[in-house]
Amino acid sequence: MPRHLSTSVIARAAGVHPNTVRLYETWGFLPPVPRSPAGYRLYTQFHLDQMCLARLALHGQWPGPAIRHSALQIVQYAARGDLHGARALAGSHLLLVQAELEQATMAVQALERWAAGDMPAEGAGPHLRIGDVSQRLNVSRDILRSWERNGLLEVPRQPGNHYRLYSGEELARLRIIRMLRQAGYSVMALLRMLRQLDQGRTEDLGQVLDTPDPDEDILSAADRWLTSLAEQEQRAVEIITRLDIMLAKSYD
């Protein structure tokens, strides 16, 4: 391989447009690129390997800001030439993804126990107003109203003044909604699942959460959260492998 590589060679190897290579350089995902006397970029083997690493780590949808920030740090460390630092971050990144995946899986398990009636029921007691529910669940009133507005539950109203009155049933449902949201599932995924639950389905709700309907045109990673995290786990392993290969090389 020649000592210096062109932008088009880098782009072909990474499977991107040449403008993407230039953007990655501008954003600091690649180390500074020397120029020829005529002004042409003179990429090296390290630039090529770093471009492939950056593309692997940063391409596609992001399952949450923490994972995105972690992947970005790996690329930035490597771009500065600190491959050992990047490798250490990659190990932590894998653990972060695995922790998110475990939390998401445990949330589904709790959901399915609740749907099967295997979790303790909320005490009947007096009906609660939105302020009481907000304090019990440690979520804002605006969030509670938003969940209702987005169709995740219906709350009975008090005759006359139309205040919301939450029973034990609504409170239990809200606990599940809060748990799944905290675990990373999108409102659309919850709405899809809860519709099935309200129609009598109590099995394989995790699969429903992770399977967008055909008419869901705009999808995010959180709409298929378990699959997205599993893909990120595989990507994290590939990042570690790529960094190990880069560390084994001798860049001139």
The CATH number given to whatever domain includes residue 137 is 1.10.1660.10
Is residue 191 assigned to a domain?
yes
Is residue 154 assigned to a domain?
yes
Q: 209 and 151: one domain? A: yes
pLDDT band at 95 (very low <50, low <70, confident <90, very high): very high
For the residues 122-137, what does the mean pLDDT come to? 81
Q: 149 and 182: one domain? A: yes
Q: 85 and 192: one domain? A: no
Q: Judge whether residue 120 has pLDDT over 80.
A: no
Q: In Å, how far from its chain's centre is CA 201?
A: 27
Query: Whole-model pTM?
Result: 0.86
Domain extent at residue 137: 103-225
Q: Judge whether residue 125 has pLDDT over 70.
A: no
Is residue 51 assigned to a domain?
yes
Q: Mean pLDDT across the chain, nearest whole number?
A: 91
Q: What is the 3-state secondary structure (H, E, C) of 68-110?
A: HHHHHHHHHHHHCCCHHHHHHHHHHHHHHHHHHHHHHHHHHHH
The CATH number given to whatever domain includes residue 237 is 1.10.1660
